[in-house]
Chain A
Amino acid sequence: MSFDLNFIGILIGAIMASSVPLILAASGELITERSGVLNLGVEGMMIVGAISGFALMVVTDNLFFAVVGSMMSGLIISLIFGFLTQSLLTNHVATGLALTIFGIGMSAMIGKNFVGIPGKEFPLLFVNLKESIPFLGPVFFGHSIILYFAFGLPFLTNYFLKRTKLGLIVRAVGDSPVSASNQGINVTLVRYSCILYGGAMCGLAGAYLSLIYTPQWIENMTGGRGWIALALVVFATWSPIKVLIGALIFGGITILQLHMQAVGLRIPVQLLSALPYIMTIIVLVVISRDSRKIKLNTPTSLGQIFYKEK
């Protein structure tokens, strides 16, 4: 095999594409977690987004409705989680798990009549530039609009959290809900909003899979990406820019597997697939060992129930 610069460009493009659902879901979950809420329902919200997007595409024949609808359905299903954890003060971990289990079941029920229907071609931007520029073309061009959005999102998220007043409020609520509440911030409202935003982003991540990445509906098609996105937030130590880097690493591992099999390298595929999880555990150990480091990185009230006596 000769050294082919264009091939490497195509490879990088493929890695970028495979990291999109991870970036979207993890960026959404990051905001949710920064407000102090641990939602383990990422996988469930993604799969519901995937089927809603695909079903709406088939029914309305309109990709815009499909994409917006997938975000709406992610938002609606996360509302169940929000209502339970914020209004009925239920345990975050158990509620999130219930959401994932429920979402996988629900998506399969809705998707029963959509199995085997071919997807529609999703418009890709700058296709001519992709082909005319070697190496840089396939890296930067010929992607869907959702990919460009996904790659901008971590920077927007970073700006939001660090430079805007609302971002400061979200962080305050996550780090110390009691003092935030004493400052007159409506903690429950902020957390509700962050949960719904996370749901919408997970829905979009699912729609990317069923509309663009593998345009069809297959039961359980998210295949554990929601859990990887959850790992990614931790791996990135709750920093949006590191989410982007982590997603490229985790996405790269997926693409690498396919090519290693083709080249015939004798590293077990499963070991590569396990790397994101193992790396996340290592990062957790490194940041948690030092109590100052964990305070600096983790939303302090993550997963804790906040109740204000009225």
Chain B
Amino acid sequence: MIKIEKRNDVSRSIYFLTPVLAIFLTLFGGGIIFFILGFNPIEALKFFFITPISDLYGLSELLVKATPLCLIAIGLSYCFKSNNWNIGAEGQLIFGGIVGGGVALLFYNHDGFYVLPLIILSGAIGGMLFAMIPAILKTYFNTNEILVSLMLVYVAKLLLDYLVVGPWSNPEGFNFPETRQFSDSARMPILFDGLRIHAGIFITLITVFLSWLILYKTYLGFQIKVSGLSLKTAKYAGFKGKTMIIIVFMISGACAGLAGVGEITGPIGQLHRNISPDYGFTAIIVAFLGRLNPIGIIFASLIVALTYLGAETAQIFLQVPKYTGQVFQGMILFFLLGSDYLLFFKIKFLGLKKNEL
């Protein structure tokens, strides 16, 4: 007989070990899928997870992809920790990109040191304002933030589409759905010649550090934590719930907006339809895999970034579609959520009694 009991105390070591277990199970599951599709699983997994980062360029690409993922996930951790389900980071990223990109186009052919900081700031504000929509609707109209933030993703996508096809499209661009290439003053400085890794990584690292300070060392961080554990307690303690909800959404939106401008002023250099390969959604996986902990999120962002790179390599060497990366991303989250069961429940194997056979 198997008996299942609820655990009263959650062990911290298991709490941070289950993500590792989830990653191993994902590799195992991925191997099985590759085997079913007729590939040598070890070989295929090698193409997926080792080949992409076996040279300097690959490592730089890993950081290029981890930069936005980590930044968005850090922002989301404020929301998730306080039980606010912002799942529209993709929309906030795009809207931040639109606002930042608009400023970049406004200052086309200006070269001043102020151009890039202005773009970055406006991108952050754009993302922040866009995230305030679900927050304000939640606090004042009691709407469900999951549904509102999700719907707004598609509104932002369509707005971007409208702008790059219509009013903002490159006048010399033969009607391609894209804006002009931003001028050099509007681009993130590249850190090393020949690699794409850019200064956006510092924005991410600074945000991670500040978030650690805010979440663990300030009164706001304490409020967020208590509200996440028990809304009743938070109310009893007299926390201003509405203000906190709006603040966590603003922070989270600003982070997503920053990730958006980081992409358009970094590796992309213009606005077009696909400024993000669903970073905003994938960052949700990163936030969970990192256990909403700033350090955990850094590691998680590197691992999830690797699934993006691996899919690109596998597309070339194994001729599998680029969406293969999503199979791994989905599996990581499945296994992670599933293995959480071990955290909250004890499984006891009891000896079989005769009359039960």
A: residues with CB less than 8 A from B are 38, 40, 44, 80, 84, 88-91, 93-95, 97-109, 111-112, 219-220, 224, 227, 230-231, 234, 268-271, 273-274, 277-278, 280-281, 284-285, 288-289, 291, 294, 303, 309-310
In the assembled complex, which residues on chain B have CB atoms less than 8 Å from the CB atom of A94?
284, 288, 333, 337
Contact yes or no, B137 A104, CB < 8 A: no
* In the assembled complex, B151 has its CB within 8 A of some CB on chain A: yes
A–B pairs, 29, beta carbons within 8 Å: A38-B146, A40-B87, A84-B337, A97-B87, A97-B281, A97-B284, A98-B285, A102-B329, A102-B330, A103-B330, A105-B324, A105-B325, A108-B322, A109-B37, A109-B321, A109-B327, A219-B321, A231-B147, A231-B151, A268-B166, A274-B159, A280-B147, A281-B148, A284-B137, A284-B143, A285-B141, A285-B143, A294-B142, A309-B6
> Complex: how many Å from CA A309 to CA B279?
39
B: residues with CB less than 8 A from A are 4, 6, 33, 37, 85, 87, 137, 141-144, 146-148, 150-152, 154-155, 158-159, 161-162, 165-166, 278, 281-282, 284-285, 288, 319-331, 333-334, 337-338, 340-341, 344
In the assembled complex, which residues on chain B have CB atoms less than 8 Å from the CB atom of A98?
285, 329-330, 333-334, 337
Specify which of A89, A99, A220 lies most central, judged by the most chain B CB atoms within 10 Å of its CB: A89
Contact yes or no, A288 B327, CB < 8 A: no
> Complex: how many Å from CA A278 to CA B154?
9
Contact yes or no, B155 A278, CB < 8 A: yes
**Closest Cβ–Cβ distance, residue A284 to chain B (whole Å):** 5
Given A274-B158, A285-B141, A291-B142, A105 contacting B338 (CB threshold 8 A) = no
Contact yes or no, B154 A277, CB < 8 A: yes
In the assembled complex, which residues on chain A have CB atoms less than 8 Å from the CB atom of B159?
270, 274
In the assembled complex, which residues on chain B have CB atoms less than 8 Å from the CB atom of A38?
146
Contact yes or no, A97 B333, CB < 8 A: yes
**Closest Cβ–Cβ distance, residue A99 to chain B (whole Å):** 7
Given A89-B344, A274-B158, A288 contacting B142 (CB threshold 8 A) = yes
Q: Which residue of A lies closest to B340 (CB)?
A: A90
> Complex: how many Å from CA A281 to CA B87?
15
Contact yes or no, B152 A281, CB < 8 A: yes
In the assembled complex, which residues on chain A have CB atoms less than 8 Å from the CB atom of B154?
224, 227, 273-274, 277
Choose from B144, B162, B331 the contact partner of A102 (Cβ within 8 Å): B331
Contact yes or no, A227 B150, CB < 8 A: yes
Contact yes or no, B341 A105, CB < 8 A: no
CB-based closest 9 A-B pairs: A102-B330, A105-B326, A108-B323, A105-B327, A98-B333, A90-B337, A270-B162, A108-B321, A270-B158
> Complex: how many Å from CA A38 to CA B152?
18
Contact yes or no, A108 B151, CB < 8 A: no
Contact yes or no, A288 B141, CB < 8 A: yes
Contact yes or no, B321 A277, CB < 8 A: no
Contact yes or no, A93 B87, CB < 8 A: yes
Choose from A109, A271, A289, A303 the contact partner of B323 (Cβ within 8 Å): A109
Contact yes or no, A289 B85, CB < 8 A: no
Choose from B144, B288, B320, B338 the contact partner of A84 (Cβ within 8 Å): B338
Specify which of A84, A224, A270, A273 lies most central, judged by the most chain B CB atoms within 10 Å of its CB: A270
**Closest Cβ–Cβ distance, residue A285 to chain B (whole Å):** 5
> Complex: how many Å from CA A277 to CA B325?
28
Contact yes or no, B158 A95, CB < 8 A: no
**Closest Cβ–Cβ distance, residue A290 to chain B (whole Å):** 9
> Complex: how many Å from CA A93 to CA B137?
19
**Closest Cβ–Cβ distance, residue B319 to chain A (whole Å):** 8
> Complex: how many Å from CA A120 to CA B282?
36
> Complex: how many Å from CA A231 to CA B148?
9
> Complex: how many Å from CA A285 to CA B284?
25
> Complex: how many Å from CA A277 to CA B147?
10
Contact yes or no, A234 B320, CB < 8 A: no
> Complex: how many Å from CA A91 to CA B150?
17
Q: Which residue of B lies closest to A87 (CB)?
A: B341
